[in-house]
Amino acid sequence: MNVYDFTAMRGNGQEVLLKEYEGKVLIIVNTASKCGFTPQYADLEKLNREYANQGLEILGFPCNQFAEQEPAENHEIQNFCQVNFGVTFPIFAKTDVRGAKAHPLFSYLSEAAPFQGWDLNNPKGNALQTFLKEKFPQYLNGNSIKWNFTKFLVDRSGHVVKRFEPYIQPLDMVDEIKKLL
């Protein structure tokens, strides 16, 4: 099994076979427009512009499961991403990424790259751990996605290589991305 075995819905309602991205290095990320990590859109777009011609593709999946930080409709999300961050990579329809209604792609990603814990020496990692422990302790259980902007790096064969938790900045992924390009 790999990511090419799944389909996903684009923001315009069109269903896409992820097999369409076969042969590409992928970053699959759950996003939100009203999150403290939302500025990561800018660096994701930088990665897109820098490495797309070498085979990198970024797939954004808005999600409203984390403190309702993505309340907008799909067309509004698309507009927000383009206007505020110049996003040119695909933004899919709002998607559940954890729990009983999680999209099968995200269930697969979470099991293929299990949660490895937080880097508590990283101030943002420590802050996110503390926040979740206080406000959403149930999110800390298991391998499911813990918060917005969890990033999965996928090789050209559709296999998950690594999971990057929300506090890891997209540009900090460059060395791992270059290994796969």
Residue 181 domain flag: no
What would the pLDDT profile of 14-58 be if each residue is shown by its tens digit?
A: 999 999 999 999 999 999 999 999 999 999 999 999 999 999 999
pLDDT number for residue 128: 94
Q: What is the pLDDT of residue 20?
A: 97
The whole-number pLDDT of residue 15 equals 96
- Residue 34: what pLDDT? 97
The answer to whether position 47 is within a domain reads yes
Q: What is the pLDDT of residues 46-70, one digit of tens each?
A: 999 999 999 999 999 999 999 999 9
| Per-residue confidence (pLDDT) for residue 125, from 0 to 100 | 92
Nearest in space to 172 (alpha carbons), one of 43, 31, 38, 5: 43
Q: What is the pLDDT of residues 94-114, one digit of tens each?
A: 999 999 999 999 999 999 999
> Is the Cβ–Cβ distance between 58 and 164 less than 8 Å?
no
Q: Are strands 151-154 and 160-164 parallel, antiparallel or unpaired?
A: antiparallel
Structural domains counted in the chain: 1
Is residue 125, in this structure, part of any structural domain at all? yes
In a domain, 178, yes or no: no
Angstrom CA distances, 50 to 12, 25, 181, stand at: 26, 13, 12
Residue 99 maps to a domain: yes
* pTM for this entry: 0.97
Residue 45 lies in a domain: yes
Q: What is the mean pLDDT of the chain?
A: 96
Within a domain: 63: yes
- In this predicted model, what pLDDT tens digit does every residue of 79-88 receive, in sequence order? 999 999 999 9
Write out the residue range of the structural domain in which residue 36 sits: 3-173
**Mean pLDDT, range 132-153, rounded to an integer:** 96
Q: What percent of the chain clears pLDDT 90, i.e. is strictly above it?
A: 98
User: Which of the residues are catalytic?
Assistant: 35
CATH label of the domain that carries residue 63: 3.40.30.10
pLDDT of residue 4: 97
Within a domain: residue 24? yes
Q: What is the mean pLDDT of residues 142-171?
A: 97
